[in-house]
Amino acid sequence: MGFTFGNYDGVCKEVALIVCPMLGSDLGIEAVCYSRNVEINSTIIFQPATCFIHIAALIMTAIMVYHIRSKYTAVGRKEIVLFFYLYAVSEALAIFLDSAIIPTYSGAYPIFAAIYVGLGTAIYWCLLINGFVGFQFAEDGTPKSLWFLRISSIVLFVIGFLVSIGTFKSVGGLSPQKTTGLFVVQLVFPVICVAIYVISQVILVIRTLDDRWPLGDIAFGCAAFVAACVLMFGFSAEICVGVKHYIDGTFFGTLCLLFAVMMVYKYWDSITKEDLEFSVGSKQNVWEIKDPLLGPNDVDVVGPPSLSTHESSYGRHNASSGKLTPGSFNTSSGKSSGYPPSGPTNYGNSPY
């Protein structure tokens, strides 16, 4: 690949990026080799294999978000979940753009492509900020921490969107032939954010944690990110020719990026512990409280009221209220079984 800083000609000829149809000439920049298309109900679907990876990414993201939200007291839980929300929205949008369900010739395509670039900018910025949550510059989960992350992510999204739409529409000194701004926003900025995130997390693990296993998660994530970049921008055409146009570098790049995102979750999960003292469970446990004043076979059951009554030495379990009611009437014997006795007590025959 002929790589020139700020120029998309070599990049788009190697791999079919979402922005490539909007750059260069009016027809865009076409890749030398790209995967085969399929026709479904008179609709041509581009990159079908890559679309399956996008769908798998949505499923995996939903699973990771569920597990993150279930760790109620973990550090940085609310901050890291925003990263996965943004990633999920980006993957959902990529399904329609990569497959050309939104046609490249339509007026909506440049807008959605600009939104996609803006989301990518916000995703990597959110990852960068999450790298500093563990240093506790601001207490995690507080409005100060959350709103700084949200507002700054929105600002970076707007920057990415404006640079992209300005490049597509030739606004503000930008044009499809002048792509330096878009090149920096889409390709250079993510690499910088990932590098800063990795360095900060290595420092965090070495300085604050006794366990060194999280470094393995960081290493696997870095390897996946590097593999995605190399396969997409370095060997996409070679892969496409080698497998006879069935897939190209976009497939492996999307797959490796998904693995890198999974390693981000795995790393966060390995350095955060759930505080069980303050955690909230979804199951109702039934606790058995053994009173030393009771006999060896007498047990009070504290829990949700059941349909059956429970007899104890103090009284009868009231099924309607779930409580032990003193002086309850035993319907089976016609006598009171509670304490104190409800009827008159004859002390005349007592030997005392």
Domain limits, the chain: 15-271, 284-345
- Taking residues 150-174, report their average pLDDT: 94
- The phi and psi torsions of 84 (rounded to 5 degrees) equal -75, -30
What pLDDT, in 10s, does the model give residues 49-70?
999 999 999 999 999 999 999 9
What pLDDT, in 10s, does the model give residues 246-274?
899 999 999 999 999 999 999 999 988 76
What is the DSSP-derived secondary structure letter of residue 184? I
- Taking residues 263-291, report their average pLDDT: 63
Q: For the CA atoms of the chain, what is the radius of gyration?
A: 32
Residues of the chain with pLDDT > 90, as a percent, come to 51
- pLDDT score at 259: 97
From 20-24, 28-32, 249-253, 282-286, the region with the lowest mean pLDDT: 282-286
How far is it, in rounded angstroms, from Cα 71 to Cα 271? 12
From 10-14, 39-43, 141-145, 331-335, the region with the lowest mean pLDDT: 331-335
- pLDDT score at 223: 97
How far is it, in rounded angstroms, from Cα 124 to Cα 258? 14
- pLDDT score at 27: 83
Confirm if 34 and 245 have CB atoms less than 8 A apart: yes
Give, for 316, the enclosing helix (H) or strand (E): strand 316-318
- pLDDT score at 297: 54
How far is it, in rounded angstroms, from Cα 109 to Cα 186? 17
From 204-213, 256-265, 271-280, the region with the lowest mean pLDDT: 271-280
What is the DSSP-derived secondary structure letter of residue 133? G
CATH number of 15-271: 1.20.1070.10
Residue with tokens 């190209």: 248
Q: How confident is the model at residue 293 (pLDDT cuts 50, 70, 90)?
A: low
Residue with tokens 């921008």: 233
Residue among 116, 88, 89 nearest 102 (CA): 116
End-to-end CA distance of the chain: 109
Maximum Cα–Cα distance across the chain:
115
- Taking residues 321-344, report their average pLDDT: 46
Pairing of strands 323-325, 316-318: antiparallel
pTM attached to this predicted model: 0.77
